[in-house]
Amino acid sequence: MKDKHEKMKQIRDEVVALKESPIYAFRVEHKNHPVIGEGSHDAHFMFVGEAPGRNEAATGRPFCGTAGKILDDLLASIDIPRQDVYITNIVKDRPPENRDPLPSEIEIYGPFLDRQIEIIQPKVIVTLGRYSMNYIMQKFDLLFELEPISAAHGKTYQAKAGYGDITIVPMYHPAAAIYTQSLKETLKKDFQILKSFVS
């Protein structure tokens, strides 16, 4: 059986060669990097955003711009080192103009995220933003519990993964706090919930 690192490398290679993607040509044209994810392959917490932005596509690292700084601060506020969690997005390539991901893009990249979840086997999946929340809630058969993110953020939902029980915690995307300062306080408060899951 391949180890986790090898399996992640295989995902990376497949995404790099994903010519079927509707945003593959945009990546090549702009010399962008795909953003697979980073962090511990044995992470207890997995954070799932929507799609990479400009800074992420330039470096190949998730959450490395302004939103990433907010995420770092939020993790620090609950004493969890960034390197101990795993951070990724549903869509692995940057959409043009940093627009929201399209359903066709989520559909083609979603299976890579599904494989990452199976490899890492996190106990807690924190969704960042409504696209991530919708995808993960649907994946784990929680659509009947789905609410708008304004109602769902900071709540915990129990689900079953192929490897055992997991908890899903929807949160606002850190980028939202760049434009709406009050959301930073909301995020900070919601992050406190994660403390109870620190093993």
| CATH code for position 57 | 3.40.470.10
Q: What pLDDT is stored for residue 143 in this prediction?
A: 87
State the residue range of the domain holding 34. Answer: 4-197
For the stretch 18-67, pLDDT in tens is 999 999 999 999 999 999 999 999 999 999 999 999 999 999 999 999 99
Reading the block at residue 49, the tokens are 């955003």
AA letter at 88: T
pLDDT band at 98 (very low <50, low <70, confident <90, very high): confident
Number of domains in the chain: 1
Average pLDDT, the chain: 95
Whole-Å CA distances, 60 to 66, 116, 123, 153, 192: 15, 17, 26, 28, 29
Amino acid at 83: Q
Return the sign of the alpha-carbon dihedral for residues 45, 50, 51, 53.
negative
Give me the residues paired with residue 127 across strands: 48, 170
For residues 27 and 22, what is the distance between their CA atoms, to the nearest angstrom? 10
Rounded to an integer, what distance in angstroms lies between the CA atom of residue 53 and that of residue 162? 31
Lowest mean pLDDT among 58-62, 83-87, 98-102, 156-160: 98-102
Residue 88 has pLDDT above 90, yes or no: yes
Distance separating alpha carbons of residues 83 and 193, to the nearest angstrom: 20
Q: How confident is the model at residue 198 (pLDDT cuts 50, 70, 90)?
A: confident
Residue 13, pLDDT > 80, answer yes
pTM surpassing 0.85? yes
